[in-house]
Amino acid sequence: MTTLLGNVNNSIPLLQNKRSVLGSLTNRPLNQINTLKQKNVHQEINNCKVPKKQKQPSLGTVQLKQSNERIRKYDESSQQSNTTKKRFRKNQKSKSNTKKETTKTKQRKKSKKIKKAKIKPHSIDPKEVNKITDIHRPFSKLPEHVTEIADEITQNMRIKEKKDHIGEDFLHKQSQVNDKMREILVDWLCNVHINFEFKTETLYLAAKLLDKFLLLKPVSINRLQLVGITALLIASKYQEVNTPDIEEFVLVANGAFTLKELLKMEIIMLTILRFRVTYVSPYFFLQIYLKAAGIELISEEFLKLKFLSNYFLELTLLKSHFRKFCPSKLAASSIYLAIKTLDLNSNSNSNFNSIGNKNVLNKSGQNSKCWSKTLIHYTKFHTEQIIDCVILISKLSNQLCNFEQSEENQTPNIIKKYSDPDFYSVAMMKIPLIKKN
């Protein structure tokens, strides 16, 4: 009880103080109280600081800042790269100068050695006849020569020529046409070929189409000229870029047949040949063998060799017994006889005025100087393998050049063609008569 009374007594002065405060407030007038309240409110408002709204940057300004930073970084990196490039160029120049000095000294040493013995490009040195040279290397930068697959193409042509081989007895089905009539027809086709200014390949293809047709179907004498001009027409359409009109082929024959007959014979020939017009030509192999002869391609000697070998090869078209030889052997035999005729390797400094000094093969089994290892490599023939064909070509050329001209015996158009100065008059040269030992 005493404790409770003590607590109550202690709380009495507190209550008295509160009453005194309230009494003081109640005694003041209302205006003073309101002014005090307003002051307190204003102080509280001033004391509490409201955070100001921050202005947010627009998107355009942000992008500008980012782009400026990127430009600054790019400029710094470009300056660094330029400095590194300058240093690299200086180092390269110093290295190149040192290399040039070393190469100049080497070239001076080499030039002294080369001046002593110069060899023309794409020519075989007489001391290096037994070495095989790459004939495709000078033409490696020319895409039309396809040097990468040239050997594969020739190998494919060798396989194909065996399949398309006709043989010398292709006239066995003909009762009215003989070898002499065919010779006259081919010589006339050569004249038409010259007048129309066709390619050389066109003449070889026309002769091949003619022989193939004579092998498969019998032909009368009246239709022989029509068959020949039709073969030339088909060959020109295959080989030439611009062919003459068909009416011109009719006019060349001087009314031997009409336009309708020519068109009809063209259909008959194509159906019998089963529209096979591609055949291996000896002219294809001759172009390869001429490169292997080892003569500079721009020289006059090469042109003489080219025209003379073409002359011998075109003479083989006249006679039917040359069909027993494959085209690659005919090309090899013609270039062998041309080299023999010009006497290239025995007299290297001669102007080919004295021709035909050596008219006998060396023991027929040994390879002579004119038939190098390069020619053996690319022709795939030794002299003993082509000797029979060479002898026949030499006999034919001597027979055609030596007979007396009369009304019955006229000079063939092939001889007239190669007697022209544009072909170095190779048909007028003295041709050696090749014999066996």
Say which residue the tokens 């060899």 belong to. 119
Q: How far apart are CA 153 and CA 369, in angstroms?
A: 28
Tens of pLDDT along 273-289?
Answer: 999 999 999 999 999 99
Looking at beta carbons, which pairs linking 283-287 to residues 24 or more positions away fall under 8 Å? 283/200, 283/201, 283/204, 283/310, 283/313, 283/331, 284/157, 284/201, 284/327, 284/331, 285/154, 285/157, 285/327, 285/328, 285/331, 285/332, 285/379, 286/310, 286/313, 286/331, 286/334, 286/335
CATH topology of domain 280-437: Cyclin A; domain 1 (1.10.472)
Q: What is the pLDDT of residue 78?
A: 65
Torsion sign across C-alpha atoms 413, 324, 222, 175: positive
For residues 55-74, give the mean pLDDT. 61
Q: Which residue has the higher pLDDT, 378 or 62?
A: 378
Residue 52 DSSP symbol: P
Q: How far apart are CA 255 and CA 250, in angstroms?
A: 7
Tens of pLDDT along 214-258?
Answer: 999 999 999 999 999 999 999 999 999 999 999 999 999 998 999
Residue 355 scores a pLDDT above 60: no
Q: How far apart are CA 291 and CA 431, in angstroms?
A: 23
Q: What is the pLDDT of residue 31?
A: 55
Domain boundaries, the chain: 164-279, 280-437
Instruction: Give the least confident one: 59-68, 184-193, 384-393.
Output: 59-68
Residue 27 Cα distances to 14, 16, 24, 354, angstroms: 20, 16, 5, 162
**Whether the domain at 164-279 and the domain at 280-437 fall into the same CATH topology:** yes
For residues 175-194, give the mean pLDDT. 94
Torsion sign across C-alpha atoms 198, 204, 205, 209: positive
Q: How much of the chain exceeds pLDDT 90, in percent?
A: 44
CATH topology of domain 164-279: Cyclin A; domain 1 (1.10.472)
Q: How much of the chain exceeds pLDDT 70, in percent?
A: 62
For residues 163-187, give the mean pLDDT. 90
Q: How far apart are CA 286 and CA 295, in angstroms?
A: 14
Return the SS3 of 435.
strand
Written as six digits, the tokens of 252 are: 């060349």
Q: How far apart are CA 309 and CA 300, in angstroms?
A: 14
Q: What is the pLDDT of residue 185?
A: 96
Q: Which residue has the higher pLDDT, 43 or 288?
A: 288
Closest by CA to 230, choosing from 217, 139, 81, is 217
Tens of pLDDT along 383-406?
Answer: 999 999 999 999 999 988 775 444
Asked if residues 371 and 293 have their Cβ atoms less than 8 Å apart, the reply is no
For residues 323-351, give the mean pLDDT. 79
For residues 178-190, give the mean pLDDT. 95
Residue 321 scores a pLDDT above 60: yes
Residue 408 scores a pLDDT above 60: no
In angstroms and rounded to an integer, the radius of gyration of the C-alpha atoms of the chain is 52
For residues 335-356, give the mean pLDDT. 60
Say which residue the tokens 């008219």 belong to. 359
Average pLDDT, the chain: 76
Q: How far apart are CA 212 and CA 228, in angstroms?
A: 11
Residue 2 scores a pLDDT above 90: no
Torsion sign across C-alpha atoms 259, 264, 267, 269: negative
Tens of pLDDT along 419-433?
Answer: 999 999 999 888 888
Residue 192 scores a pLDDT above 70: yes
Residue 316 scores a pLDDT above 50: yes
Residue 45 scores a pLDDT above 70: no
Residue 105 scores a pLDDT above 90: no
Residue 114 scores a pLDDT above 70: no
Residue 343 scores a pLDDT above 60: yes
Written as six digits, the tokens of 176 are: 């009215």
Residue 27 scores a pLDDT above 60: no
Asked if residues 177 and 219 have their Cβ atoms less than 8 Å apart, the reply is yes
b/e code 168-180 from CB counts within 10 Å (16+ = b): eebbeebeebeee
Q: How far apart are CA 300 and CA 283, in angstroms?
A: 21
Closest by CA to 181, choosing from 155, 214, 134, 132, is 214
